[in-house]
Amino acid sequence: MQNLYEELNATDPKVRKTVADGESLISKSKDASANHIKQNVELLQQRWKNIQMRAADKKVTRIFVFSIANGLYFNTILYLGFPFYLNMHFVSMNSYVTIKNN
């Protein structure tokens, strides 16, 4: 997943340059092609923003799921491990008492 964010960060300057080049072409052109270029630049900006928002949402979701999984893991250890610890503690106490009585 980290590679995705690295690719997005590497692609961002390319998208910005393409948008800047498109805006430069729009300012130089006065005919119908300028309108077509403007539509394409706006579409590129919208799609790029959408991609970035989706990636951010996925990152937040991944962090949220990871924190829940961590909590479940530690709760499982607590619920399974603590009774085991108590059982071992009492067994050792009982064996101590048994040895003391002999």
Percent of the chain with pLDDT strictly greater than 70: 71
Domain segments of the chain: what residues? 2-73
The conformation of residue 75, written as its DSSP 8-state character, comes to H
**Segment 29-52, tens digit of pLDDT:** 878 888 999 999 999 999 999 999
28 in helix, strand or coil? Answer: helix
Give the chain's mean pLDDT: 80
Instruction: Provide the whole-model pTM.
Output: 0.62
pLDDT for position 89: 60
CA distance 86 to 57: 43
What's the mean pLDDT in 80-99? Answer: 58
pLDDT reported for residue 70 = 76
